[in-house]
Structure 1
Amino acid sequence: MKILLVYSHPNPGSFNHAIKETIASELTVCGHDVKVRDLYAIGFDPVLKSTDFLLAQQGKVADDVKLEQDFIVWSDMVVFVHPVWWASMPAILKGYIDRVFTHGFAYAIDENGLRGLLSGKKAIILSTTGADEKTYTDTGMFKSIKLAIDGGIFAFCGFEVIEHKFLTSVPYVSGEERKKMLEQVVAVARTLAVN
């Protein structure tokens, strides 16, 4: 399977970085063709500009957007690795969605209504949180995030969301607990070996 890994965290010493390295390595070991787009490392510009709208009116996109769209077209599955900040994804990833998931590429609205144009592709989201699992469950935050991100972005564009795994309390858990979380990440990768 051709898997695109979109990673969004600025700190190469972060636990998110360890997740990215673990899933990329395990997917490769499982025989998948993996390409990684580290949005901070590549300096992706997340700011949607008036020029993006002008290009869209001409049926075009900026070169940096076209490059990212080509990676998505290439892929069978996209794995997103990011922290949850302010009950959502980091701004750089939201900007990636704003600029890359364009009308005519990711979705269309015509006489037949709304259509997701990325159908046939799958998505997995691996998110870390600072708060604990009970807090996110009791406040409805998991449900809210899944509704907004899994449904409002990815399913809207036609992706089949296979899994959205939350790894919680990351700043407060022991090294042993983080190791167990990485084992869960390995398990996610291994489930794809049979799909």
Structure 2
Amino acid sequence: MSRRILILIGHPDPSPDRLCRALASAYAEAAESAGHAVRKIDLASLDIPFLRTMQEFEHGSIPDSLREAADAVVWAEHLVFVFPLWLGTVPAMLKAFLEQVMRPGTAFAYPEQGEGFAKSLLRGRSARLIVTMGMPAAVYRIWFLSHGIAGMRRGILNFVGIRPVRETLLGMVANASDVKRASWLEQMQRLGARAV
């Protein structure tokens, strides 16, 4: 069954040589070949202003520079985030993007007075986090409990209704051999073809 897939490249460095871009391209090409509709957004090419007040978050509008990206998030049935682990979590640019796009009215709605919880507006969507890192992935998963990624999964994506959120953690990327990198690209192709 064909799915609508949005791939978000969250590496702040716009260099085309970054592994994250190669992983995203491998996923996208395989997904398109399998008949899925694919959109790709490279966050390094966008103007992403920081939110500075709760008032702005709750009552401001999504900046014009991010309107198309916000519409693509709503359009998608499956979101793929590809980014490096920085200081144990997502790069600030990706966090700023999520704060701007996952706003009231787009991603969730505050409850009416007397009601319980916020209403998730992105239910029915799934996501995959593809994360590159310098440390062994097992160390991040077991010793650090994937804390930064868990925060993104639970505090942002699950909150707005996106689940399941699957993770692909790729460790020791700086010293990876060509054979290892090729195996990661093949893994992305398999995931992309299946849209998972």
2:4 matched residue in structure 1: 2
Q: Residues 1-195 of structure 1 correspond to what in structure 2 (within 5 A)?
A: 1-9=3-11, 10=13, 11-41=15-45, 43-49=46-52, 53-54=55-56, 56-57=58-59, 60-110=61-111, 111-142=115-146, 144-192=147-195
Q: Distance in 2 between matches of 1:149 and 1:165?
A: 14
Q: What's the CA shift for 1:2?
A: 1.2
Distance (whole Å) between structure 2 residues aligned to residue 115 and residue 71 of structure 1: 20
CA distance in 1, matches of 2:141, 2:69: 34
Between 1 and 2, higher relative CO (CA 8 Å, sep ≥ 6) is seen in: 2
Structure 2: stretches of 5+ with no match in the other structure: none
Residue type matched to 1:182 in 2?
L
Q: What's the secondary structure of 1:98's corresponding residue?
A: helix
Deviations 1:156-185 (A, max 9, x none): 110013411111110011111111111111
What SS does structure 2 have at the residue aligned with 1:160? Answer: coil
The one-letter amino acid paired with 1:180 is S
Q: Is residue 154–residue 161 contact of structure 1 (8 Å, CA) maintained in 2?
A: no
Preserved contact between residue 116 and residue 156 of structure 1 (Cα < 8 Å): yes
CA contact 1:106–1:118 (8 Å) conserved in 2? yes
What value does the CA root-mean-square deviation take over the aligned residues? 2.0
1:139 maps to amino acid:
W
Query: 1:174 and 1:135, CA in 2 relative to 1: closer, same or farther beyond 3 A?
Result: same
- Aligned AA (2:128): I
Distance of 1:90 and 1:61 partners within structure 2: 20
Indicate how the Cα distance of structure 1 residues 55 and 95 shifts in structure 2: closer, same or farther if over 3 A, else same: closer
Letter in 1 for 2:187: Q
1:181–1:69 distance in 2 versus 1, CA, 3 Å: same
Alignment partners' CA distance in 2, 1:56 and 1:4:
25
Identity %: 26
Change (3 A) 1:148 1:18: same
- TM-score, normalising length from structure 1? 0.88
Structure 1 unaligned residues grouped into runs of 5+:
none
Assess if the C-alpha contact under 8 Å between 2:27 and 2:193 holds in 1: no
Whether the aligned pair in 2 keeps the contact of 1:46 and 1:93 (CA below 8 Å) is no
TM-score, structure 2 normalization: 0.87
Q: 1:56 to 1:136 in 2, by over 3 A?
A: closer
Q: Write the distance in 1 (CA, Å) between the matches of 2:49 and 2:162.
A: 21
The number of equivalent residue pairs is 189
